[in-house]
Chain A
Amino acid sequence: MYIQNGDGIEERYPHHYTTYVAVHIESVPFFHAYPGSRSLQIGSRGCNFDCHYCSNAYVAKSLPGEVYMFRLAPKRLVNIAKQTGCHNIVFAVNEPVVSLPSLIEVAKEARAAGLPMGCLTNGYVTDEAVDMLSSACEFINISLKGFSQDFYRKYTGISDFSPVLRNIRKLAAKNHIEITTPIIQGINDHEIIDIAEFIASMDKNIPWHVFRLLPEYKMKDEEYPSIQVINEKLEEAREILPYIYFSNFVGSAWVSTHCPACGQKVIERFNLGGCGGKMVKYLLDEDNRCPDCGNQVHIHGNYTQWNSGDAGYGLCSFGC
């Protein structure tokens, strides 16, 4: 959130956050960045979209004063991350671009402490802002909500989604990116192949997280999409992209990574409820190669043990 100050604008609530919590990076979700690591997830409030199905509308669409905000200086946030054994910091919950100057300061402090920064974004930002985001964040999950002006206009409140596509291309060239698309049966499921082809046109190794709509906010009375129907459409897309995940429902059978060359399951995850997953088995070698065929699987950073950041902070008194 910004206010005009003379000829410029400034952030209205710098360094104010609604949450800070340690999570699995896979739950954010990032499935191909620092697998196994512990992320300090932070978020502020506000968004430049008005998605009809927003799961976090009580934060993203809240007014100042409606939700509780912590004031946490960048150094303090980084200290919290280190004290709690987190390996990176991820800005999620709401659109980070509404708090961009704060995010950049946190990223600088985090980088100095050896902690990479990531974020989730809807990608609807200016050319200048996307450069700033790209410099601040090593890994970015961009929500590509659909693939038509009509969908974006009706369900997100913006009239032109071409900046989103432009920014995805730009970020894909510089950063590790993953893409997320909530699918609403009968509304944007016919765009599945278009989206897969768009992703493949940049890099077919970009992971794509397809979410089953969770009826919330303005769509709370909608039906839950059929998993079978959506997954049948995804089968065709899997011919185009090797890393397609289908989740946002408990027990999903489509959150593990298979080697694109031999089909072997190389990273096993469970969906315990929520949008991503929890990793339970990492079978790639230290160079992220398939143990069966040696094929390189696209992973940003290395596998990181969940508890490897705990040592020295005395948070765990029984040896984990």
Chain B
Amino acid sequence: MAYAVLDVREWDVVVDLDTGAPVNVNEAGIDSSMLSMARQVIKGHPYPGDFAPESMEWVTDTALRLWKAYDPHFMFISYAQPGILGGVIDMTPDDWNDIVDRQCKNVDRFIENTGYTPVVVGLGDMVPLKGYVNLSGLDGIGYVRRANRRYAGLFNPSDNDLVQLSKMPGVERVVSKRDFINLFGAADGFRRRFPDYLVVAEEGYGFKAMGTSTRIGYRTIARNESIPVYTRLGDAGIHSLVDVKDAIIRNVSHQRIALILLDGIGVEDFRGQYDLCDNSVYWYTYCQGDDSYLAISCGKHFQYNDYPPGWLDFIEDSEAKKYPYDGFIESSPPDSIGNYLRTETGVTSAAVGSRSTFTHLAGGSDICVECCCCGLYNYGTKAVIYKDQA
């Protein structure tokens, strides 16, 4: 059983992560030291909000606190603010440099204080938004999950829709489900959920369709075929983002490692040395959503996880849906790096991140601390704990 502590400043509640139901801690036999630690950490570190510059310090401060309290062998950290705010705030180059510098200083502060061997992955550059591909006028349904910026699902299109799309500015390609699966292969869940067609935007374009955010957009994820990776692991053999997990597993028995993900940062902004690693499969480039997070954490490409871009996630959100606090996902990925370390090696792990549920879904760590943000609204701070590790 995994459970979560939801803290909204001066008030918290413990819930069963599977059912979402509030938990009576005493009756459930939850290990009180683990719970007490989680409560203290998040009570002392309420998330300041995605728009607050201090959200970067929040990641480092919270990670340091958790490191001192739990002393994990592996840490999963994500600094999401540049990627999140870069999209919705009209920043000058100086503003952008400031935010990247701030992120870099916080990464350095964490590494210098803890002595972890870092594996730092920049999830990719952002580029100015050139325009939108508007799918609302089609006969079929165009759908975009909020977090996915270059890919849209298309359901029940008419022949005319496909003709129109082929002429629309900003559309890179339209791929049928059959063609996609034939080329990429897919896990069962991915295959089931895949839209009738996947619409891919050209670099610099985003979508406007059912499900897209109402926020004003300024930048979007670039077509990052490769992304920067910095590590002191030596010859880590990280040629693709899906190699990161294996590199960590091979080295974690003899050194403490921190995997640090930087949203919105690619080769243009990565401070210091780096190697390039592949961020694509065939024509698909990762775009810093669950695709990137799960590929890195689970060590397999996005089509072998269960959640394709553009799927109609709301259809599965019935009363019976499990893991209600985990958004669209139906269960914690069993092969996330944290879960693997816990179940296969006994290595302790912790995660801290400002990318909301992605932190514990991808981190899968014994204890994970994250913001409870949705649509850039700050609803509180969450800690997720796996009881069997307590």
Are A224 and B9 in contact (CB-based, < 8 A)?
yes
Are B380 and A83 in contact (CB-based, < 8 A)?
no
Q: Which of A23, A66, A68, A227 touches B132 (beta carbons < 8 Å)?
A: A68
CB distance from A231 to the nearest CB of B (A): 9
Are B377 and A85 in contact (CB-based, < 8 A)?
no
Q: Which residues of A contact B192 (CB under 8 A)?
A: 317-318
Q: Which residues of B contact A206 (CB under 8 A)?
A: none
Whether A149 sits at the interface, judged by CB under 8 Å, is no
Q: Which of A24, A71, A270 touches B317 (beta carbons < 8 Å)?
A: A24
Question: Majority SS of interface residues in chain A?
Answer: loop
Cα distance, A221 to B160, chains bound together (Å): 51
Whether A306 sits at the interface, judged by CB under 8 Å, is yes
Are A22 and B379 in contact (CB-based, < 8 A)?
no
Whether A316 sits at the interface, judged by CB under 8 Å, is yes
Whether A55 sits at the interface, judged by CB under 8 Å, is yes
Cα distance, A93 to B81, chains bound together (Å): 25
CB distance from B318 to the nearest CB of A (A): 4
Stretch at the interface among B11-19, B243-251, B261-269: B11-19
The count of chain B contact residues (Cβ–Cβ below 8 Å) is 46
A192-250 contacts to B (CB < 8 Å): 212, 214, 216, 220, 224, 226-228, 249-250
Cα distance, A272 to B113, chains bound together (Å): 35
Stretch at the interface among A122-130, A132-140, A279-287: A279-287
A281-320 contacts to B (CB < 8 Å): 281-282, 305-307, 310, 313-318, 320
Cα distance, A220 to B6, chains bound together (Å): 22
Are B325 and A80 in contact (CB-based, < 8 A)?
no
CB distance from A254 to the nearest CB of B (A): 11
Q: Which of A23, A24, A62, A224 touches B8 (beta carbons < 8 Å)?
A: A224
A22-B314, A272-B325, A306-B318 are known contacts. Are A68 and B208 too (CB-CB below 8 A)? Answer: yes
Chain A: interface size category: 35 or more
Cα distance, A23 to B317, chains bound together (Å): 10
Whether A43 sits at the interface, judged by CB under 8 Å, is yes
* A-contact 0/1 string along B188-221, CB 8 Å cutoff: 0000110000000000000010111011110000
26 A-B pairs within 8 Å (CB atoms) are namely: A24-B317, A38-B314, A62-B216, A68-B217, A70-B136, A70-B208, A71-B136, A76-B137, A93-B214, A214-B377, A216-B377, A227-B10, A228-B10, A228-B11, A249-B8, A249-B11, A251-B12, A251-B13, A251-B380, A253-B13, A272-B325, A272-B374, A273-B374, A273-B379, A273-B380, A320-B316
A interface, CB within 8 angstroms of B: 18-24, 36, 38, 43, 55-56, 58-59, 62, 66-68, 70-72, 76, 80, 83-85, 93, 212, 214, 216, 220, 224, 226-228, 249-251, 253, 270, 272-274, 278-282, 305-307, 310, 313-318, 320
